[in-house]
Amino acid sequence: MSSVLIEELGPRGKARVRVATIISILVGIVLLALVVWKLGTAGQLTWAKWEPFTVWANLEFLLGGLVNTIKAALAAMVFSIIIGFFFALGRLSRNAVVRGLCVAYVEFFRSIPLLLAIFMGFFGLLAAGLDVGAFTSLVVALVAYNSAVLSEIFRAGIKSLDKGQTEAAQAIGMRYWPMMRIVILPQAVRRMVPAIVAQLATLSKDVSLGFVIGYEEVVRRGQGFPGFSDAGNFQAYVVVGVVYFILVWMLARLARYLELRQRTSSIGTGAAAIDGAGLEDIAALSEEADAAEVEAAAARGEDPDRVVDSQTRARGAAEEQGTKLNEARKGDRDRRRGRD
């Protein structure tokens, strides 16, 4: 278990780790006991406070909130993709005015809080005479906000596509737009699928802010469900937290799975050319992919700004390629040297 920082331990190191393990377990147990004790003395563990969550009508109400959350997230996702695409293309456009407008839009929505955008979608539209209701307001705000974010991801995606593709398309005489549509875009979309699913996880978290304009998503239902007064804040938010955790966690897993599948398949074809280098690389890659995914998510934070992950990934891929070439070269040389 040797890593960048920690080398293989000697006997003294192992003894220290054992001691640290025991101490940290004890500390953990004590802390946990304290929490449970505190919960108990505060009367939070009584059955009466949790019982409301076993009543089907209450659960149904809460799950209705979950459905609303997913509904808003999906709607926002679909429209964000479409609009984000146009802004990505707009930013790559050759027309300076179009480019400028797109940059302004993207930069604006990337530098205000989502809550402010939600207020714009709700109060702003209301002031403009459009009483569209909480759902539409929320979706409009999420779309305005996320299409800015997605357009950055798309832009990076389009740019990261092999330049050779563009050149090949140009060589066979395709003009700009047909080329974009037929060659570049489909590939960009395919490559973006994992990022889009990851973004869906973020979006479903974002939907919670619809709370402030009265959208009946999980959190609002969590404090408005019929049994709320029998339960309490603590119980309600713990349950809401658990519901959210499961939803977001599953989406994140899915995104990671898709990403890994995509990477291994593209690496697989790459490695086939340089025979042999294959299998361990893929194992190593999944580790690295994990780190990259995590970094990407971290960079995305509550809302993805610049798309660091695509950069690091590109760099990682380049290095990967480099080592493989080196290995290939080495083997080649060994063979060559053998001959003379």
Partner 1 sequence: MADALVEMRGVNKWYGELHALKEINLDIAEREVVVVIGPSGSGKSTLIRTINRLESIQEGEILIDGERLPEEGKGLAKLRADVGMVFQSFNLFAHKTILENVTLGPVKVKKMGKSDAEEKARGLLERVGVAHQADKYPAELSGGQQQRVAIARALAMEPKVMLFDEPTSALDPEMINEVLQVMLDLAEGGTTMVVVTHEMGFARSAADRMVFMDEGEIVEENDPESFYKGAKTERARDFLSKIITH
Partner 2 sequence: MLEFYTEYWPDYWDGTLVTLRLVVISFTLACIIGVIIAGFRVSPVPPLRSFASGYVALFRNMPLLVVFFLAFFGVGDLGFVFGPFPTAAVALGMYTGAYMAEVIRSGINSVSSGQAEAGRAIGLGFIPLLREIVIPQAVRTVIAPIGNLFIANFKNTAVALTISVFELTYISRKLINETARTWLSLLGAAIIYTVILLFAGWVFRTLEDRYAIKR
The reply on whether position 8 binds partner 1 by CB under 8 A is: yes
| C-alpha distance from residue 51 to each of 15, 59, 171 (Å) | 47, 11, 70
- Which residue is it, tokens 């209301």? 126
Contact with partner 1 (CB under 8 A) among 13, 100, 133, 226:
13
CB atoms within 10 A of CB 161: 15
* Nearest distance from C-beta of residue 90 to partner 2, angstroms: 19
Residues 280-319 binding partner 2 (CB under 8 A) are: 291-292, 294-295, 297-306, 308, 311-312
Question: In the structure encoding, which two tokens stand for residue 225, read together?
Answer: 């469900």
* Nearest distance from C-beta of residue 168 to partner 2, angstroms: 28
Q: What is the C-alpha separation between 63 and 68, in angstroms, rounded?
A: 9
Which of partner 1, partner 2, none sits in contact with 165, Cβ below 5 to 8 A by type?
none
Instruction: Indicate the residue among 281 and 303 with the shorter CB distance to partner 1.
Output: 281
- Dihedrals φ, ψ of 113, to 5°? -65, 150
Contact at 8 Å (CB) between 264 and 284?
A: no
The reply on whether position 338 binds partner 1 by CB under 8 A is: yes
The site for partner 2, by CB under 8 A, has a size of 72
- Which residue is it, tokens 């974010």? 149
* Nearest distance from C-beta of residue 134 to partner 1, angstroms: 52
Q: What is the C-alpha separation between 170 and 174, in angstroms, rounded?
A: 5
Contact at 8 Å (CB) between 222 and 59?
A: no
The reply on whether position 87 binds partner 2 by CB under 8 A is: no
Which 8-state DSSP code applies to residue 303?
S
Contact with partner 1 (CB under 8 A) among 3, 5, 11, 171:
11
Query: Binding string to partner 2 for residues 215 to 244, with x set by CB under 8 A, is what?
Result: ----x---x--------xxx--xx-xx--x
Question: In the structure encoding, which two tokens stand for residue 151, read together?
Answer: 């357009």
Query: Binding string to partner 2 for residues 146 to 185, with x set by CB under 8 A, is what?
Result: ----------------------------------------
Contact at 8 Å (CB) between 180 and 89?
A: yes
Determine the interface stretch with partner 1 among 197-205, 206-214, 296-304, 323-331 (rule: CB under 8 A): 323-331
Determine the interface stretch with partner 1 among 10-18, 86-94, 151-159, 288-296 (rule: CB under 8 A): 10-18
The reply on whether position 326 binds partner 2 by CB under 8 A is: no
Q: What is the C-alpha separation between 227 and 176, in angstroms, rounded?
A: 60
Contact at 8 Å (CB) between 203 and 112?
A: no
Contact residues: partner 1, CB under 8 A = 7-13, 326, 329-330, 333-334, 337-339
